[in-house]
Structure 1
Amino acid sequence: MPSTKRLRTEPIVRVRTGCWACRRRKKKCDEAKPVCGGCVRNRLTCQWPSSVLGVPDSAAVTATTTPYTESHAHGLEHVSRAQHRTSSSPGTPSAASSSTSSDSAVSPEEIPRDMDLPMDERNTPTLATLASRASSADTVPPPIIASTTALTIGNALPRAMSMMPDHGLDAYQLLSHYMATTADCMANGSTPINPFLVQIVPLAFSSDLLLQLVLTQSAAHRAFRRLKDSDEVAQSHYTKALQLFRRGVTEFIEGKESNPLILTVGALVMCFTETAKGDMNGTIFDHLSAAHSLLLRLLAQSDAAVPKDLKDFVIEYYTYTAAVSMISIDARVSQQVLLNFDLEQKARQLLEVGYVGNLCGCWLELLLLIPCIFDLGRHWMVMPSNEDQLPAIVPTADEIAMYGSLQAQIMRWSPYPSVSPEVFLAGRIFQQAMLLYLYTSLGGYARSRTGMHHMLVQTAIAEAMSYLTQLSATARINSGLCWPIAVVGSCLSDVDQQENLRQRLTTMVSTFGLGNMHRTKLLLEHMWQMPLEEAGPWNICRAMEQNQIWISFA
């Protein structure tokens, strides 16, 4: 005889007052606190909601009056639903006035799925995510601050920890601006990986000094883009950065700090901070001098002390900045050496592996010839006893041989076939600028209007202007072209060609917002007013002196 089944006459009542573990397992909870029987039997973490069915208990009341409660010890973080309503339904009275205790209740359906995971495995936004969400108006997602209630970003609950505990809201905005804008403007895009992000940012979060320098660079760049010469935030960060950097250098000299890596990178970041702000007082040369000494100390350490990619980038960083800055030095009177033999050899080791960088592109070999040309021109530029007389150039046999060798190296050079078309064009522009730099060293401060020398100069100008025409003024590679543009521009006498460069630099300034681009344009405007015999790249330093525009072309 079949057994009779007892029909259930009363509805199933699901208990919604148990711990989260029992709810997830769909098991009845005996609600024993602090650990229920089910969690004891199954060795689970027993976690409890802050309130039950909208009725606040003592924990919920505490949560509404203090930012963090004891529930954080069990991995729970409270979400402000009132803020969520305001963001999703702006303008509604209920969203604006929802502040009752029921708003602090969190139902199981509203708990993010990754709440069950450990903190390290949750979907916490990365720095890159924060940067990608930054708008052109320099807005930044709500910061993660330990002293305020945790904020919801997407469906994830951020860590109750500040990335920059000693900085205010403006620091988050500046970091966002750096990652979304400044880092892209500093790199020329020659490689898909931007070292100003993947190398500098992680290093900055290991050092308060370097983090401050990065924020300062971002503030200077943002201020120039906004055309605010008296930006208080930028000035405040700049002052603080100088103080910290000087203190760091002092401690290094006194032996209190033995690792020169942070200071070396910091000095280079300060160089590009001057580039971003468009400083005209030559401050970049002070930072470059400090970077020179620090880099020598850094390279004296074992190869295991610094990751190879980072060390290669630091070598490229300094080599590029030093090489393009030498043109600002008066070869007739200065014995300053920005790139000595040891540093040059380190850079040549990069050439052996076909190095392509976000500063030197594929033309590192050309940049390493600048000190050789500078030294050659220095020998030929003997100051005359009478200013109305031209210096008498009597090159020696060795100097003639050196000139021929340098010309052959430059003309033989070719961009790597694997680089992008924009990088290829930029390499050709650098090549023609290097030829101009070499040709004008032979002619001193005068330039013959006839003969072989004049033809060589005019050919290099025409080639360089042709390559510039093929390259869009808004392409990222332009961020590294101030040096060849200044060299070519200093040789121009044709009004149409001058206007071509003028418009190009204007577009570059509006696109990248880098101060050195504007100063390059300003300097060329002065040079175009000078007599033809005072033109050429070897007169750039003289134009700087006459007009008090001391800049680097980095």
Structure 2
Amino acid sequence: MDLTSDIRRARRACKRTKSGCLPCRRRRKKCDEIKPECSGCLRNQLICAWPSRDPATPAIQSVASMTERNLSSMPHIQTQIRQSTSDTTDVLAAPLSSLPPAFRGVEAASLLDSFTELTAPRMVGKGDIENPFITYNIRVSMHSTALQHAILAVSSCHRAYSEPAFSLSSRDHYAVALRSLKVGITKWNTCSVQDRIALLASCLTLCWYEVIDADIRGSLYYHLRASGSMISDLRKDERCRDENLLGFFSEQYSYLAIVANIGIGQASSDRLLDPRSLSQPLHTLNQDSPIYGFMFGCSHALFELIPRIARLPGRFRARRDSSSVVQQEYDSIFSAINSWLPNSQSDDPGYELAGEMYRAACLVFLRTSMKGHEDLEVELYNQVEPSIALFLESFKQLSGESPPWTTFMWPTLVVGSCMREESQRETLLQLLGNSNLRMQTVDSTAHWLSLHWEKVDKDVHLYGIDGLEKTMREQGLDPCVG
């Protein structure tokens, strides 16, 4: 018997470990068991996944029943996707009795519970309707590693505000979600419609992660551009006829792309949403569906004006249009803002108050967009001050629990950038402190404005949203507005 035979027999006698990740087991490679991604998967660009625990554990059973409970209170999924293809219907109507590995375990169960009970309700701008972040995204995630981890990343990021220990968990889930998304995108042209839907849902969920995390590197805009391309492809994909899903994705994308218009300078030009690129008027998005206005509330018409305002200075400086044409556009926008009325009724006065705050912010945005900051005039201050007063008065009447709080970052930055009086600034900071969102976004908004106020007190030419953008750029910040 030779030495080689002895070695082979010894290897067969050794028990193979069962504690490694699934890809290493399949490849019969030794796993160093570093979580969430082992070194082998990282080196070979594989999606690292771990074996599930006993599916009968109480934690998993509680999550299954919890998810069913959240979904059972909504209209049946089948009625929401009545125009879907059979493939898409299978994705959304899959039973939840068998949770995927990423949602199993005590911590994952806790995070999924937090997402449905705490985070998702704070992601919508309207609380008296069905929450699609639960009824749509949870269902789609059952077949998507990327979306599972994106949801857990968002949940743990939200939890980290009150419980900093979750910061590491949020980054871990984010890394796995991003890696899975990158791998999936390489197969975009050949993948099934279910996979395309899941990839788009994952990409948009990572947008929300950047917003909730108050990212200052502009990461949101990379996800947003990718999401826009995916939505365009899905609308051309004859296999996807589910208008409810497309409406859900389109409203998220449109909202995030619109409020990205935080500046009016050249630095913001590549982020502007061209109003002509909208697939349909905003007020028709999800019309007659149970999720109508889940981001835009009752202020669709005001949101449509924001990208028009943001493009005005560029049109004027580039001399593409005559000054009279630009003035006509200015006057048209001004008239539309003043004549705005809520496009839906609600028993909650918060939605109309939120609309008034957006009306005030749009007026401030419009007034400051066409004035050269090298030649500030008392007239501009006098035009803007009434809008600041309207904004603060509406804000004071709003409950800290009101759902529209979710959408207040943009108007707060726009109006706050023009506050010159110390009393106005103190009032705004106090109102921000009343928020029950418990997200880093609120604290960061207050911090960014405080930085700007210090600068504008020394240089009056930094007055307004354009000045805020310059302040952020000088500080090396590229905040994600959402």
Category of TM-score, reference length = shorter chain:
0.7 to 0.9
Cα distance, 1:168 vs. partner?
3.1
Please say if residues 190 and 357 of structure 1, whose CA atoms lie closer than 8 Å, have aligned partners that are also in contact. Answer: no
Deviation at 1:125, TM superposition (A): 3.1
Q: 1:261 aligns with which of 189, 197, 212?
A: 197
1:336 to 259, 265, 270: 270
The alignment status of 1:408 with 2:335, answered yes or no, reads yes
Greater share of helix residues, 1 or 2? 2
1:546 to 451, 467, 474: 474
Q: Are residues 183 and 533 of structure 1, via their aligned partners in 2, closer, same or farther at CA, if it must alter by over 3 Å? A: same
Match of 1:365 among 292, 301, 305: 301
Secondary structure, in 3 states, of the residue corresponding to 1:415? Answer: coil
Tell me the equivalent position of 1:196.
133
What CA distance in whole angstroms lies between the structure 2 residues aligned with 1:191 and 1:311?
21
Instruction: Give the fraction of aligned pairs with identical amino acids, expressed as a percent.
Output: 24
Match of 1:225 in 2: 162
State the alpha-carbon separation in 1 of the partners of residues 253 and 355 from structure 2: 19
In the aligned structure 2, how far is the partner of 1:368 from the partner of 1:444?
24
| Deviation string, structure 1 residues 410-449 (Cα, Å, up to 9, x no partner) | 1111113512311011011101100110000111335744
**TM-score (structure 2 length as normaliser):** 0.74
Match of 2:218 among 282, 295, 303: 282
Q: Which runs of 4+ in 1 moved over 6 A?
A: none
Aligned partners of 2:311, 2:449: CA distance in 1, in Å?
24
The correspondence for 2:253, drawn from 308, 318, 321, is: 318
* CA shift for structure 1 position 218: 0.8
- After superposition, the Cα gap between the structure-2 partners of 1:547 and 1:381, relative to the gap in structure 1 and judged at 3 Å, is farther
For 1:136-535, list aligned pairs within 5 A: 162-166=98-102, 167-228=104-165, 231-252=167-188, 255-256=190-191, 259-302=195-238, 305-328=240-263, 331-333=265-267, 335-340=269-274, 343-348=277-282, 350=284, 353=287, 356-380=292-316, 396-416=323-343, 418-419=345-346, 420-446=348-374, 448-451=376-379, 453-508=380-435, 511-531=436-456, 532-535=460-463
1:191 positional shift? 3.4
- Contact 1:327 1:537 survives alignment (8 Å): yes
Residues 411/246 of structure 1: CA separation in 2 closer, same or farther (3 Å cut): same
Q: Distance in 1 between matches of 2:188 and 2:67?
A: 31
Q: Please state whether the residue corresponding to 2:279 is helix, strand or coil.
A: helix
Q: Distance in 1 between matches of 2:433 and 2:381?
A: 29
| Higher normalized contact order (CA 8 Å, seq sep 6+, divided by chain length) | 2
- Alpha-carbon deviation of 1:376? 0.6
CA distance in 2, matches of 1:395, 1:190: 44
Output the CA distance in 1 between the equivalents of 2:412 and 2:434. Answer: 13
Inter-partner Cα distance in structure 1 for 2:161 and 2:381: 40
In 2: Cα distance, 1:524 partner to 1:395 partner? 35
| 1:114 counterpart residue number | none
Deviation at 1:188, TM superposition (A): 2.3
Structure-2 change in CA distance of 1:517 and 1:406 (3 Å): same
Aligned counterparts of 2:355 and 2:96: Cα–Cα separation in 1? 48
Do the aligned partners of 1:131 and 1:180 also contact (CA within 8 Å) in 2? no
The question of whether the paired residues in 2 share the 8 Å contact of 1:174 and 1:218 is answered with yes
* Greater C-alpha radius of gyration: 1
Q: Comparing 437-446 with 470-479, which one deviates more in the overlay? A: 470-479
Structure 2 unpaired stretches of 5+: 1-52, 59-63, 73-94
Contact 2:396–2:431, Cα closer than 8 Å, also in 1: no
**Cα distance in 2 for residues equivalent to 1:337 and 1:231:** 29
Whether the aligned pair in 1 keeps the contact of 2:184 and 2:199 (CA below 8 Å) is yes
- CA gap 1:449/1:523 in 2 versus in 1, 3 angstroms: same
The residue that corresponds to 2:38 in the other structure is none
Question: How far did 1:338 drift?
Answer: 4.3
RMSD of aligned alpha carbons? 3.1
Cα gap change, 1:471 to 1:446, in 2 (>3 Å): farther
The alpha carbon displacement at 1:475 in A equals 2.1
Q: CA deviation at 1:249?
A: 1.2
Counterpart code for 2:100: M
How many Å apart are 1:541 and its aligned residue? 1.8
TM-score between both structures, scaled by the size of structure 1: 0.65
Relative to structure 1, the CA distance from residue 436 to residue 349 in structure 2 (aligned partners, 3 Å threshold; closer, same or farther) is: closer
Inter-CA distance 212–454: structure 2 relative to 1 (3 Å threshold): same
Alignment-mate amino acid for residue 240 of structure 2: A
Aligned residues: 393
Q: What's the CA shift for 1:320?
A: 0.4
> Aligned equivalents of 1:213 and 1:163: distance in 2?
16
Structure 1 residues 337, 160: closer, same or farther in 2, change over 3 A? closer
Q: Which amino acid aligns with 1:209?
A: A
Question: Which amino acid in structure 1 is aligned with residue 407 of structure 2?
Answer: G
Per-residue Cα deviation, 1:442-472 (whole angstroms, up to 9, x for no partner) = 1133574423x43221111111111111112
Query: Is contact 2:124-2:406 (8 Å) kept?
Result: yes
Matched with 1:147 is: none
Equivalences for residues 85-104 of structure 1 within 5 A: none
